[in-house]
Amino acid sequence: MKNFRSILFLLTTLTGAAFQAQVNDTIMEKVREEYSYERLFKNNLTSNPANMHGARKYSITTFKLVTEHTDTPNEIQQKGKGKNLWGAEAHSLQMLDPKTTVWGSASYTQGKTKHMVWNENADYDLIYPYVAADSVGGDMKFENYSFSGGYSRAINSYTVGITGSYRANLSYRDIDPRPKNTSANFSLTVGANKLMFEKFRIGAYAEGEKYTQKHDLSFVSNQGFPTIYNMSGMGNYNELLSGKLRQAYYEGWSYGGGLQIFEANNRNWYLNVGLKKLILDKLLTEYTDLNASKIDEQRMNLSLGKLFDTGKLVWGIFADGSITERKGTENLFLNENSRNYIQIGTVERYNHKITNAIIKGLLQTENAGVKSSLTPFFGWIQETEKYSNPRSVVELNRMVYGADYRWLKTFSRDLALSVSLGLSVTDVYKKNALFNNSGKPAVNQMLQENYAFQSSDFWQARVDVNFHFSLPVIKNAFAGAKIMYSNFQNGNNTLFAATIGAIF
C-alpha cells in the first residue's frame, strides 16, 4: 500500500505540472494526434530516444484508470484462462523549448490470472521453457509497478537522447501450490541522430537491460502435494531435478542496438533496423546457485514506410518483419548425494524460431471536423519449435489478414468522439507436430491441448470507443470502452476493458 500511495502521488504530480504548462494548447489537436494511425506508424523510430525529439507536434499528458476482464479458454495452459485487473497510468511528453523534449510514465496494475497450470513462475514469455510446473496450478494474483523517463536535446545538426525504465512484478497464490515470484528489470538506452544535407537524418542507438526473478514454492497441506517438474521444453523435464527443488533464481542480460534513416521534416519515409540478444540463466539456489540451464535468444527486426500527403488525403504503405531464434541449453549433472550435484556436461536441446512479416496500408482523410483512417494489412508467420532428444517438433505456418478503421469526430473545442473498429482472420495453412508421448499422461494431455489451440484458425473482431468531454472540475476528461471477440472452432475468447481519465 505504501508503494501504491507513492505511485499515486507521482501520477498526480505529473498531471498537475503538465496542466500548468499546457493550459493554452488546443486540446482537440492533441486528441487528433493521439489517435492518428500516421503517428503510430512513425513510432517505429522512437526505439532511438534521440528521435523522440520531433516525434509529436504537441506536448501531452494523459492520466487514466483502467479495468479489464478477459476470458481465454483458448490459450496455452501456461498463460491461464483469462485475467481480471485494474490499474492507474500516467504518461507525459513535454517540449520544454524548441530544442529540448522530456517524457515519462508511471503505472500500477493489480489483479489475477485465472486457472494458470503447468507454470508457477512470472514472465513466462521471457523465461520459457525453463519453468517450474505442476498439474494443479490455480488462480495467480499479481501486482505490477513501472516507471520510465527520457530526455532528448538538439545540438546544432545533432540530436542526442537517453531513456531508462524500471519494472517490478509480484505474483503469488495463497492456496497450495503457493508460489511467490518477485521479478524486476531495468533498461537503459542511449542514441543520437544527425541531419544530413538538410533533407534526412541518420540515427543509431544502443540498449541494455538487466532482468532478475526470484521464485519460491511452498505447501501448507499435510495431505501430500503434486510433483513439481523442472520443465525443459515441449513437455520434457529434468528427471533428476524434478520433484525436489522449490527455489530458483533467474538472471539475465539483454543488449542490442539499431540504425535508422528518415526524412527530416515530417518523417514521411523511414527505414529502421534493430538487433537484440538475450542471455538468461536459471540458478537453483537450494544447491549453491547451481546453474541448471541457459537461454540464448537473438532477434532481428526491420521496418520501413512511405507516406504521401496531398493535403486532405494521406496514404502510405508500411512493412515490418522480424526473425527471433531462442536456443535452450541444459547442464547435465551427476548426483553424488542429496545435496551435491556435479556438472558433467552441457547440451543444447531446445530451439524455437519465429519469422514474421506484415504489410500495412494507410488511407486517411480529414474534412469538417471528421478524421477517418483505414488500415488494411496482410501478414505471414512461420514458427518452428523443436526439442532434440527425445525428438519433438511443432511446425506452424499462418496467414493473418484484415483491416482497422478509425473515425474521429470533433464537435467543439472540448467535445469529441473516437470509434475504432477492427477485423482480422488468422489462417493456419500448414501444421505438423511430433511429440514424445513416453512421459506422464497429464503432461501429454497438456501438449495436445496446447497444440490444438496453436494450430486453430480463428477470426477476431474489435470495437474501441472513446468520448472526450468537459466537466466542471476536470475540463479535459475522457471515458472509453473496448470489446474484443475471438472466435475459434471450439469456443471463443472475450475481452472487455473500460477507461476513465483526463488529457492535458
pLDDT category of residue 11 using cuts at 50, 70 and 90: very low
In the prediction, which pLDDT does 224 show?
67
| 108-154: pLDDT as tens digits | 999 999 999 999 999 999 999 999 999 999 999 999 999 999 999 99
Tell which wins on pLDDT, 312 or 46. Answer: 46
CA–CA distance, 208 with 185 (Å, rounded to integer): 10
Residue 16: is its pLDDT beyond 60? no
Q: Provide the strand spans (E) within 264-369.
A: 269-284, 290-309, 313-337, 340-367
| 306-357: pLDDT as tens digits | 999 887 799 999 999 999 999 999 998 887 666 678 888 999 999 999 999 9
Q: List, in sequence order, the alpha helices (H) in 23-133.
A: 27-34, 37-42, 124-127
In the prediction, which pLDDT does 22 show?
42
In the prediction, which pLDDT does 338 show?
60
Please compute the mean of the pLDDT values over residues 234-253 and round it to a whole number: 87
SS3 (DSSP) at 303: strand
In the prediction, which pLDDT does 268 show?
94
Domain positions in the chain are 2-503
Residue 221: is its pLDDT beyond 70? yes
In the prediction, which pLDDT does 123 show?
97
SS3 (DSSP) at 123: coil
Please compute the mean of the pLDDT values over residues 259-283 and round it to a whole number: 96
In the prediction, which pLDDT does 288 show?
79
pLDDT category of residue 2 using cuts at 50, 70 and 90: very low
In the prediction, which pLDDT does 311 show?
79
CA–CA distance, 171 with 372 (Å, rounded to integer): 41
Half-sphere CA count of 246, side-chain side, radius 13 A: 13
Q: How many percent of the chain have pLDDT more than 70? A: 93
CA–CA distance, 336 with 345 (Å, rounded to integer): 15
In the prediction, which pLDDT does 335 show?
77
Mean pLDDT, the chain, rounded, equals 91
In the prediction, which pLDDT does 15 show?
45
Rounded to two decimals, the pTM is: 0.92
C-alpha cell at 368: 469538417
**Residue type (1 letter), 237:** Y
pLDDT category of residue 107 using cuts at 50, 70 and 90: very high
Residue 8: is its pLDDT beyond 70? no
CA–CA distance, 286 with 340 (Å, rounded to integer): 10
Question: Cβ distance 275 to 254 under 8 Å?
Answer: no
CA–CA distance, 121 with 213 (Å, rounded to integer): 9
Strand 178-196 with 269-284, pairing: unpaired
Residue 225: is its pLDDT beyond 70? yes
In the prediction, which pLDDT does 337 show?
64
The lowest-confidence range among 202-211, 294-303, 341-350 is 341-350
Please compute the mean of the pLDDT values over residues 101-105 and round it to a whole number: 97
Question: Cβ distance 226 to 437 under 8 Å?
Answer: no
The lowest-confidence range among 81-85, 342-346, 494-498 is 342-346
pLDDT category of residue 7 using cuts at 50, 70 and 90: very low
In the prediction, which pLDDT does 14 show?
46
